[in-house]
Amino acid sequence: MQFLAGRPEGGTLSAIARAAEAPKSSVIGLLAGMVASGHLTRDDSAVYRLGPNMFSLAAQVIGSMRLPILLMPVLDRLMRETGETALAGYLAPDADVLVYVAKVESTNPVRYTVPVGEHRELYSTAMGKLLLAYMDVPRRRAYLDGHELHAYTQRTITSPARMQKELQHIREQGLSETLDERVVGASALAAPVIGRDGRLLIGLGIAGPTERMRASRGEHARTLMREAQSLSKLIAHTPQDLREAWRA
């Protein structure tokens, strides 16, 4: 599927068969099976493109192999400089949820922890609100219209109108924050890693006990935003196929 991976506009049966150096009669059955499984899509013009399950598979591979190569040094620095757990997350390809893809836990006995691969809702976490803020406008509007904003704590934002203002503020500041919004006593900051096209690739975050996070909020925010900007530049100079895979 390398042929389609490099062509967002897709390809016809004939083009794919030529690229594979195989007869169309041999290729068409394989394509039909991949369309049925969701790894490819086929539109009314008989053009094939990579499907959602292919991106999900790519995300799993990247998460288990390539992402840590780039992320772990950054997360390790974040943890050492802030003393708090450092996290990376992205928007799931097949649902409006946050997925944590990498972490370096604080060495402090009292620390924030979350399993890699854990799914969390978007509206009550710093990382989730960051992803929601940078989401395409129609998708964000549909999310806020279609999701009940359940109150996990007294500080959880449950008003869609207030959430819209919060998301606008996040975009303006380039920083997302929670203070006891999902769990009393736990707070977090998150900053965007942006591609050359201005789209969000992933989020970087730090999380820890509210008392410590509040006391060092300004310093932690500067450190986090600096690392997110540095990682954005690093990814901008990685091969195109890797940059695209980060969006999966």
- Could you tell me the domains of the chain? 2-50 (1.10.10), 53-246 (3.30.450.40)
In the structure, how many helices (H) and strands (E) does the chain have?
11, 8
| Per-residue confidence (pLDDT) for residue 55, from 0 to 100 | 54
| Per-residue confidence (pLDDT) for residue 83, from 0 to 100 | 96
Tens digit of each residue's pLDDT (9 = 90 or more) over 200-234: 989 999 999 999 999 999 999 999 999 999 888 87
Tens digit of each residue's pLDDT (9 = 90 or more) over 21-78: 888 888 888 888 888 887 788 888 888 887 766 655 555 544 444 555 678 889 999 9
| Per-residue confidence (pLDDT) for residue 49, from 0 to 100 | 83
Res. 241: pLDDT tops 50: no
In whole angstroms, give the CA distance from residue 25 to residue 13.
10
Tens digit of each residue's pLDDT (9 = 90 or more) over 109-149: 999 999 888 889 999 999 999 999 999 999 999 999 999 99
Read off the pLDDT of each residue in 74-85 and give the average, rounded to a whole number.
95
| Per-residue confidence (pLDDT) for residue 231, from 0 to 100 | 85
The residue whose two tokens read 């050359």 is 196
Torsion sign over Cα 225, 228, 229, 230: positive
Torsion sign over Cα 193, 61, 78, 176: positive
| Per-residue confidence (pLDDT) for residue 185, from 0 to 100 | 96
CA distances from 107 to 31, 225, 235 (A): 49, 22, 28
Q: Which of 245, 227, 175, 195 minimizes the C-alpha distance to 71?
A: 227
In whole angstroms, give the CA distance from residue 89 to residue 119.
10
Q: pLDDT over 70 for what percent of the chain?
A: 85
Classified as helix, coil or strand, 7 is coil
